[in-house]
Structure 1
Amino acid sequence: MGTGKLFRGITLPGHKGSVTHALVFMLAGITTRWKQVVAYHYSGNSTNGAVYKPIIINIVQAATSVGLHVVNVTTDMGSPNRAMWKSFGVNQNQTWVRHPAQSDMRLYFMPDVPHLVKNWKSALVNGQTITLPQDVVVKEKLTSNKVSIGPLQVLVGYQEGMTLKLVSKLSRNILEPSHFEKMKVSSAMHHQIHQQIH
């Protein structure tokens, strides 16, 4: 699908200005480990993610035409990607659309796990409470449907100054990260609260 040309300006349809980003589209295996860049566009600081929709449809159709089975679109949860999801009609209650190349199949949309963990951690350290669905509470035999950072803050305060700690790697820095630390996906993945407790 390449053009063989060298571009110096924004190539994303409907956008103008100075190039500051490269938007990369790739295909990757689910049951085997492989990935291949199949398209890219140069973009600026502000991007309307709705223009990704025809690009994604074109990629899915081209991949299907050569025998690949595209089952999922995975993105981070940045504003342009959320706009793209919305353009497909995807939301928290509707996570799939009719496959653009195989009408008897579904094309699912999922956030990538590292960014999902980052958003989850960010919500908790910003004092938000996450409410779990009742069926999850029952299935997992949980004592509450609320998830908050409150109990961990109490534990950090209790452990302060102790030589032997119940959770040695849990600290105020993890529960009260700087603005820069909040933005780092690696920080969120490294300091998963689940990992800290086990």
Structure 2
Amino acid sequence: MQVSLMKPEERHAALMIDEMQITSGLVYDHSCGAVLGAPTLPLADGSLPDDSLATHGLVFMLGGLSSRWKQVVGYHLTENSFCASSPKDELIKIITACESLGLKIHVVVSDMAGGNMALWSRFGIHAGRHSKPSTSCVHPCDPARRLWFTPDVPHLLKNLRNHLTSGQAIYLPDEVVQKHKLPTARVDLAHVKKLVEEDGKSELKIAPHLNSSCVDPKHYDKMKVKFAFSLFHNDTAADLRLLVDSGKLEKEALTTA
């Protein structure tokens, strides 16, 4: 990847962090002349036993915001947990190096695992039921800019789905309700369940992408992104509107759509 060959708009990027499971063991790497396999980050409690072996790889990768490109820029080997202070320093180091090359790093993207949430908190990122969410911090390379933090899209979809399938509702802001002239502020999964039920009675399916795993996922189904994606698909919204128009669903379902 040569930054000098990029157009100005192609230099805007996100820094993504992903942890993947690896096979534990020691391996000699001829390229660097070293034995790899031990954790390179301390555990969550700050310790790093001499006999410990890495079980995961923490990968740092850049991705374009206005164009499709990706580039792995670093990694660390970790055990089942890691101390958040070390990745924070690594994050700042990577962002600083990238900005010095002419890239603009605007956002950090990760899943919502415990280690990443601890890392977010080191940057002052938090959200609570009784407090105002904080989703950005002062950019380490420019005090006039903000560095944003966001979960990756699959985790956002699964979290929203889990919120609804646990029996809770989502309430839209008043300005959204008024702007789109919605009948209510409440988003309710019961309307989608009714859609699945009605579709099951018909040989001609209007919602073939939906099934019981989408509206009532079991343990392993909750881990699969495809069921959450199907639930929030544009076709689901169109199907709900069709049932409202045909009188099989009340108008309140339009908000869910």
Check whether the contact 1:15–1:47 (CA below 8 A) recurs between aligned residues.
no
Shift of 1:147: 1.6
Shift of 1:56: 0.9
Q: CA deviation at 1:39?
A: 1.1
CA distance in 2: counterparts of 1:31 and 1:179, whole angstroms? 36
Which consecutive unaligned segments of at least 5 residues does structure 2 have? 1-30, 128-132, 239-257
Give the 5 Å matches for 1:1-198.
4=32, 5-13=34-42, 14=46, 16=48, 17-92=52-127, 93-198=133-238
Contact 1:15–1:43 (Cα < 8 Å) also in 2 = no
TM-score by length of 1: 0.86
Q: Distance in 2 between matches of 1:119 and 1:189?
A: 11
Structure 1's 135 and 77: CA in aligned 2 closer, same or farther, altered over 3 A? farther
Q: Deviations over 1:4-62 (max 9, x none)?
A: 44422111144533311111011111112111111111111223445421111111111
Shift of 1:190: 4.1
Q: Is the contact made by 2:41 and 2:83 (CA closer than 8 Å) also made in structure 1?
A: no
Q: Secondary structure at the match of 1:107?
A: strand
Q: Deviations over 1:125-180 (max 9, x none)?
A: 22221222223322333222222211122333344332234434333232112211
Q: How many residues align?
A: 196
Structure showing greater Rg: 2
Question: When you count strand as a share of all residues, which structure comes out higher?
Answer: 2
Q: Which runs of 5+ in 1 are unaligned?
A: none
Inter-partner Cα distance in structure 2 for 1:102 and 1:175 = 45
Which amino acid in 2 is paired with 1:80?
A: G
Distance across 2 between alignment mates of 1:60 and 1:188: 32
> What is the root-mean-square deviation in Å for CA atoms of aligned residues?
2.2
TM-score by length of 2: 0.68
Runs ≥4 residues deviating over 6 A: none
